[in-house]
C-alpha cells in the first residue's frame, strides 16, 4: 500500500511538472503573440501616420493653390464666383419689388409692385433658374394677392 501511495505521489508530481511546463509554454506563446501583435499595430500606426501626412500635404497644397487662384478675383480675397453664379439683376429687382408689395400699405401700389415683381421673377426664372428668382416670384405672387384682397375689401 505504501508503494501505491508513492506511485500516486510520483504521478501527482509529474502531473504538476507537466502542468507547470504547459503553463510556461502558454505564457511564452502569449508573449510572442503579444510582441507580434504590438509590432503589427505599430507598423499599421506608422503606415496610417505616413498616409495621413501625405493627405495633409496634398490638402495643404490644394488649399494653397486655391488661395493663389482666387487672390485676384473680383469677389474679394478667397472668394471666386463661378461664371454661372453672377447676380441676376432681374431677380434682385423682383425680390425688391416683392418685398415692397408686401410692406406697402396702399393696395394699388401693392398690386402694381406685386404684378411687376411676379413678371420679373418669372422672366428671371426662365433665363436662369435661381433661388433669388424663385423668391422674387413668390414674393410678387404674395404681394399681388394682398393687393387684390385690398382692392376687394
How does pLDDT run across 22-49, given as a tens digit for each residue?
A: 888 888 887 887 787 777 767 776 776 7
Judge if pTM exceeds 0.85: no
Q: Considering Cα of 83, then 85, then 87, then 88, what sign does the dihedral take? A: positive
Chain segment 78-131, per-residue pLDDT in tens: 444 445 556 678 888 999 998 988 888 787 888 898 899 999 989 988 888 788
Show the cell assigned to 48.
Answer: 496610417
Domain definitions of the chain by residue range: 1-81, 88-152
Per-residue pLDDT for 73 more than 60? no
Residue 147: band (very low, low, confident or very high) from pLDDT cuts 50, 70, 90: confident
Q: Which residues contact 138 (CB under 8 A, 6 or more apart)?
A: 98, 121
Amino acid at each position: 500500500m505504501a508503494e501505491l501511495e508513492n506511485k500516486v505521489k510520483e504521478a501527482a508530481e509529474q502531473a504538476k511538472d507537466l502542468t507547470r511546463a504547459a503553463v510556461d509554454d502558454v505564457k511564452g506563446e502569449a508573449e510572442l503573440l503579444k510582441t507580434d501583435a504590438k509590432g503589427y499595430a505599430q507598423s499599421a500606426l506608422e503606415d496610417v501616420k505616413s498616409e495621413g501626412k501625405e493627405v495633409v500635404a496634398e490638402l495643404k497644397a490644394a488649399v494653397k493653390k486655391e488661395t493663389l487662384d482666387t487672390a485676384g478675383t473680383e469677389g474679394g480675397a478667397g472668394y471666386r464666383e463661378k461664371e454661372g453664379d453672377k447676380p441676376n439683376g432681374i431677380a434682385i429687382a423682383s425680390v425688391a419689388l416683392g418685398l415692397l408689395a408686401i410692406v406697402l400699405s396702399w393696395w394699388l401700389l401693392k398690386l402694381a409692385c406685386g404684378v411687376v415683381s411676379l413678371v420679373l421673377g418669372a422672366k428671371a426664372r426662365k433665363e436662369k433658374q435661381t433661388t433669388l428668382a424663385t423668391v422674387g416670384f413668390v414674393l410678387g405672387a404674395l404681394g399681388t394677392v394682398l393687393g387684390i384682397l385690398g382692392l376687394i375689401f
